[in-house]
Amino acid sequence: MVLRHLIHRGIRDPRVLDAMRKVPRERFVPPSERDRAYADQALPVDCAQTISQPYIVALMTEALGLQGEERVLEVGTGTGYQTAVLAELAREVVTIERHAELSEKAVRVLDELGYGNIEARVGDGTLGCPDRAPFDGIIVTAAASHCPPALFEQVREGGVVVIPIGGRGVQMLEAICKVDAAPRSESLSGCRFVPLIGAQGWPR
């Protein structure tokens, strides 16, 4: 997976590549999908959600430029795979999921794998986590028509929000850096994510 789907497609950060080698992706997909756990494709999971393809996970993670001392916010815990990759690379990960069932299953797997630097919450991720802000980086694993203002406010100066921006069907993955309190965006890749539901996202 790392050689074929990540290195050959341009992922270069050695820490990201090591994390992707280490995290057992098969633990985060449904039993019916485990034969495709390392294929470079999104897979269906509970609550009509998906687990992102490995390349997109690596691309989003690399865009944060993590060095090991950061506090990161993840919006959309899902099965916890992206959470685990972030936990390998950052000092602390706060992750929010609106589906309690998904959050509970993810926490169980993450605990079994021994991750002790993750705080999982259930709630509206579009509002972020103001009591733990500011964050050095924020990853949003669902698509929005724009970056929720609450999330941009909660990333520190010089920090990055990585988020798919577009319609409900197709989006562009954007890395939005806060420079002099204003957004500076870099387009990373076309993508396709489930919609970001919440007060500052899409309606239910």
Tens of pLDDT along 30-66?
Answer: 999 999 999 999 998 988 888 999 999 999 999 999 9
Q: How far is CA 93 from CA 138, 181, 189, 200, in A?
A: 10, 23, 24, 22
* Euclidean distance between CA atoms 103 and 121, whole angstroms: 8
DSSP character at residue 203: -
Q: Given this structure, which CATH class describes domain 2-191?
A: alpha beta
**Taking the complete model, does pTM exceed 0.85, yes or no?**
yes
The closest alpha carbon to 146, from 171, 112, 116, belongs to: 171
Helix axes 81-89 and 14-22, enclosed angle (nearest 10): 130
Average pLDDT over residues 127-155: 97
To the query of whether residue 52 is one of the catalytic residues in this protein, the response is yes
Q: Are 43 and 57 in contact (CB under 8 A)?
A: no
Selected catalytic residue, list 32, 52, 185, 189: 52
Task: Reply yes or no on whether the pLDDT at 105 is more than 90.
Answer: yes
